[in-house]
Amino acid sequence: MTISKYSTYRCSVKQVDEVDERSFKFWSAICCLEIGIPFLSTFTLNANYQLMETGLAPAASDALGFGPVQISSIFGGNAVLIFLAILFTFAMSAKGVSDEALLMTGWIISCFGYTAMYVLWEADTTVVKFVAPIVLSTLVGAVIYGMRIVDMSRDLD
């Protein structure tokens, strides 16, 4: 009996058990607090920040009549805010503020920032109502990423 190259491949029970065991080990590692919480916070932060970056140009154009130059100035301001917030995170870490406190602060600000973005970004709004959520959301990223940089620099010492 010859097996055609187009026939379906059938796994043995042993192969399936090995895959299930590897999958279980992987998900067990991801779900432990030491890996799961940083993984979830990084994923959530990146997803929300990408939503902000993607929605900023059309929303600012529609709500405020901003053109490319004004929108670029918002992103330029974000770069300065990120730098200052990372410096603030370094200073707080040097003064002995715990990583957990920095992370909780970041999550709390994140809740306010992204909720404010949803509530305040509407047609015919003011510049303050539009930019305030961006500032809060940018600070969150810098605090959480700054904390990660502090952790990596500790590991190098």
Q: What is the pLDDT of residues 66-117, one digit of tens each?
A: 898 988 888 888 888 888 888 888 888 888 888 778 877 878 888 888 888 8
Report the candidate in 147, 153, 155 with the shortest Cα–Cα distance to residue 86: 147
Task: Supply 153's token pair.
Answer: 């620099």
State pLDDT tens for residues 4-27. Answer: 444 444 544 455 456 677 777 777
What is the pLDDT, as a whole number, of residue 116? 87
Strand blocks (E) in the chain: none
Q: How far is CA 84 from CA 21, 134, 143, in A?
A: 46, 15, 10
What is the mean pLDDT of the segment spanning 56-65? 86
What is the mean pLDDT of the segment spanning 44-56? 82
Which of 111-125 are b and which e, b meaning 16 or more Cβ less than 10 Å from the residue's Cβ?
A: eebbebbeebbeeee
pLDDT top residue among 139 and 152:
139
What is the pLDDT, as a whole number, of residue 138? 82
Kindly indicate the confidence band of residue 146, based on its pLDDT and cuts at 50, 70 and 90: low
Would you list the domain boundaries of the chain? 35-156
Phi and psi at 51, nearest 5°, equal: -60, -40
pLDDT over 50 (residue 140): yes
Kindly indicate the confidence band of residue 3, based on its pLDDT and cuts at 50, 70 and 90: very low
